[in-house]
Structure 1
Amino acid sequence: MSQLPLKGIKVLDLTSVIVGPVATRWLADYGADVIKVEPEGGDLIRTLGGVSSSGRFSPKYLNFNRNKRSLGIDLKHPEAQALMRDLIAQSDIVITNMRHNALVKLGLDYASVSAIRPDVIHCSIVGFDQRGPYAGKPAYDTIVQGASGFADTFARMEGTPRYVPLTITDHIVGFIAVQMVLLALLHRRMTGEGQSIEVPMFENMADFILSEHMGQKVFTGSDGPTGDLRILNPLTQPIRTSDGYICVSANTDKQAFALFDAIDRPDMKTDPRFSSVSARLKNIDLYLSTRDAALARQTSAHWLEIFDRTDVPAMPCHTFESLMADDQLSAVEFFDTLDHPVEGRLTDMRLPNRTSKNWEKPSVPAPDIGQDTDQVLRDLGYPDNRIAALRQAGAVFGRNAEESHNG
Structure 2
Amino acid sequence: MQPSIPAGSPLHGIRVIDLSSVMFGPYASQYLGDFGAEVIKVEAPAGDSTRRTGPAAEADLASCFIGLNRNKRSVVLDLKQAAGRAALQRLLAGADVLMHNIRPQKLAALGLGAEQLRERYPRLVCASLNGFGEGGPYAGQPAYDDIIQGMSGLVDLVQRQTGESRYLPTAAADKIAGLVAAQAILAALLGRAQSGQGGTVEVPMFEVLSSFNLVEHLGGATFTPARGGTGYARVLSGDRRPYRTHDGHLCVMPYTDQHWARFFAEVGRAELAADPRFADMDARTRHIDELYGLLAEFLAQRSTAEWLAACARIDIPAARVNSLDDLLVDPHLNAVGLFQACPAGAGQGRVRLAASGVRFDGEQRTFSAPPRLGEHTREVLASNGFSAEEIDGLLASGAARQA
Match of 1:35 among 30, 35, 40: 40
1:108 aligns with 112
Instruction: Give the secondary structure class of the aligned counterpart of 1:179.
Output: helix
Asked whether 1:93 is paired with 2:97, we answer yes
User: What letter is aligned with 2:156?
Assistant: D
Deviation of 1:391 after TM superposition, in Å, equals 0.7
Instruction: Give the secondary structure class of the aligned counterpart of 1:222.
Output: coil
Q: Distance in 2 between matches of 1:259 and 1:325?
A: 31
The within-5 A match list for 1:230-379 is: 230-342=234-346, 343-356=348-361, 358=362, 360-379=364-383
Q: Distance in 1 between matches of 2:329 and 2:261?
A: 32
Q: Would you say the 8 A contact 1:13–1:34 is kept in 2?
A: yes
Q: Would you say the 8 A contact 1:22–1:175 is kept in 2?
A: yes
Q: Would you say the 8 A contact 2:161–2:236 is kept in 1?
A: yes
1:403 aligns with none
User: What letter is aligned with 2:179?
Assistant: F
User: What letter is aligned with 2:164?
Assistant: T
Q: Distance in 2 between matches of 1:295 and 1:351?
A: 34
Deviation of 1:15 after TM superposition, in Å, equals 0.5
1:60 aligns with 64
Q: Distance in 2 between matches of 1:229 and 1:361?
A: 41
Deviation of 1:42 after TM superposition, in Å, equals 0.8
The within-5 A match list for 1:179-258 is: 179-222=183-226, 224-258=228-262
Instruction: Give the secondary structure class of the aligned counterpart of 1:87.
Output: helix
1:405 aligns with none
| TM-score, normalising length: structure 2 | 0.95
Deviation of 1:81 after TM superposition, in Å, equals 2.0
1:140 aligns with 144
Query: Which segment drifts farther, 133-142 or 323-332?
Result: 323-332
CA RMSD of aligned residues (A): 1.5
Deviation of 1:19 after TM superposition, in Å, equals 0.6
Instruction: Give the secondary structure class of the aligned counterpart of 1:197.
Output: strand
Q: Distance in 1 between matches of 2:47 and 2:95?
A: 22
Q: Would you say the 8 A contact 2:247–2:304 is kept in 1?
A: yes
1:16 aligns with 21
Question: Over residues 174-230 of structure 1, what are the superposed CA-to-partner deviations in whole Å (9 max), with x where a residue is unaligned?
Answer: 111111111111111111111011111111111111121111111112262211111
Deviation of 1:261 after TM superposition, in Å, equals 2.4
Question: Over residues 139-188 of structure 1, what are the superposed CA-to-partner deviations in whole Å (9 max), with x where a residue is unaligned?
Answer: 01111111011110011112222111111111111111111111111111
Q: Would you say the 8 A contact 1:123–1:197 is kept in 2?
A: yes
User: What letter is aligned with 1:13?
Assistant: D
Q: Distance in 2 between matches of 1:384 and 1:335?
A: 39
Q: Would you say the 8 A contact 2:78–2:85 is kept in 1?
A: no
Q: Would you say the 8 A contact 1:263–1:295 is kept in 2?
A: no
Question: Over residues 356-393 of structure 1, what are the superposed CA-to-partner deviations in whole Å (9 max), with x where a residue is unaligned?
Answer: 2x453321110000000000110112121221111111
Deviation of 1:2 after TM superposition, in Å, equals 6.3
Match of 2:394 among 390, 396, 399: 390
Q: Distance in 2 between matches of 1:233 and 1:39?
A: 46
Asked whether 1:74 is paired with 2:97, we answer no
Q: Distance in 1 between matches of 2:122 and 2:234?
A: 50
Give the gaps of 5 or more residues in structure 1: 400-407
Q: Distance in 2 between matches of 1:373 and 1:269?
A: 66
Instruction: Give the secondary structure class of the aligned counterpart of 2:42.
Output: strand
Q: Which runs of 4+ in 1 moved over 4 A?
A: none
1:402 aligns with none
Give the gaps of 5 or more residues in structure 2: 1-5
Query: Which segment drifts farther, 59-68 or 108-117?
Result: 108-117
Deviation of 1:270 after TM superposition, in Å, equals 2.7
Identity %: 37
Q: Distance in 2 between matches of 1:351 and 1:211?
A: 24
The within-5 A match list for 1:146-161 is: 146-161=150-165
1:404 aligns with none
Instruction: Give the secondary structure class of the aligned counterpart of 1:361.
Output: coil
User: What letter is aligned with 1:93?
Assistant: V
Query: Which segment drifts farther, 51-60 or 178-187?
Result: 51-60
How many residue pairs were aligned?
397
Instruction: Give the secondary structure class of the aligned counterpart of 1:35.
Output: strand
Q: Distance in 1 between matches of 2:86 and 2:360?
A: 41
Over 3 Å counting, the alpha-carbon distance change for 1:2 and 1:94 in structure 2 is closer
